[in-house]
Amino acid sequence: MSAPKLLDALPQLVGEGLISAEQAERIRARYATDAAQSGNRMLLVFAILGSLLVGMGIILIVAHNWDDLPHMARTVLAFAPVLLGQGLVWYALQHKAGVASWREGSAVLLACGLCACVALISQIYHISGDLEGYLFLCALLIAPLLYLPGSLIVALCYLSMITWYGWLFRLEHGNDRPWLLLLLLAAAVPFYLRQARENGMGVGFWWLSLFMALTVGMCSQFFYTDWEIEHSLGLVAMAAAFTLVPWLHHGRTLRTWPWVLVGGATMLVIFCIFSFRVVWFDDHRSDHLGLQRDLIGIVVLCLIGAATYAITLRHRKLFEAWPYPEGWWLFLICYAVSLVSPVGASILVNLSLLAMGVLNVKHGIQRGSLRRMNLGLVILSTTLLMRFFDTDMSFVLRGLVFIAIGIGFLYMNLRMVRARNKGANAS
pLDDT tens digits, residue range 274-309?
988 888 876 554 556 657 788 888 999 999 999 999
d(CA 227, CA 236): 14
d(CA 299, CA 280): 21
Q: Which H or E run contains 195?
A: helix 179-199
d(CA 311, CA 315): 8
- pLDDT for 247 beyond 50: yes
The average pLDDT across 211-233 equals: 89
- pLDDT for 36 beyond 60: no
Q: Select, from the ranges 67-81, 147-161, 218-232, 285-299, the one with the highest average predicted confidence (pLDDT).
A: 147-161
Task: Return the higher-pLDDT residue of 22 and 257.
Answer: 257
- Give me the long-range contacts of 387-392 (CB less than 8 A, separation at least 24): 387/350, 389/276, 390/276, 390/277, 390/278
d(CA 216, CA 114): 25
344 Rama class: left (phi>0) / alpha (psi -120 to 50) / beta: alpha
Buried b / exposed e along 244-273 (16+ C-beta atoms within 10 A): bbbbeeeeeebbbebbbbbbbebbbebbbe
Read off the pLDDT of residues 154-173 as tens digits, 9 standing for 90 and up: 999 999 999 999 999 988 88
Whether 298 and 288 have beta carbons less than 8 Å apart is answered as no
CA atoms within 13 A on the CB side of 290: 15
d(CA 113, CA 327): 46
Q: Who contacts 378 (Cβ-Cβ below 8 Å, separation ≥6)?
A: 357
Q: What does the pLDDT read at residue 418? A: 74
d(CA 154, CA 369): 35
Read off the pLDDT of residues 92-125 as tens digits, 9 standing for 90 and up: 888 887 777 788 888 988 998 898 889 888 888 8
The average pLDDT across 206-228 equals: 91
The average pLDDT across 329-336 equals: 91
Q: Within 285-394, where are the H helices? A: 289-312, 324-338, 342-367, 370-386
Q: What does the pLDDT read at residue 37? A: 46
d(CA 166, CA 218): 9
Whether 243 and 192 have beta carbons less than 8 Å apart is answered as no
- Say if residue 361 is exposed, middle or buried (CB neighbours under 10 Å; 0-12, 13-18, 19+): buried
d(CA 204, CA 211): 11
Across the chain, what does the average pLDDT equal? Answer: 82
Number of helical H runs and strand E runs in the chain: 17, 0
**Is residue 38 very low, low, confident or very high in pLDDT (cuts 50, 70, 90)?**
very low
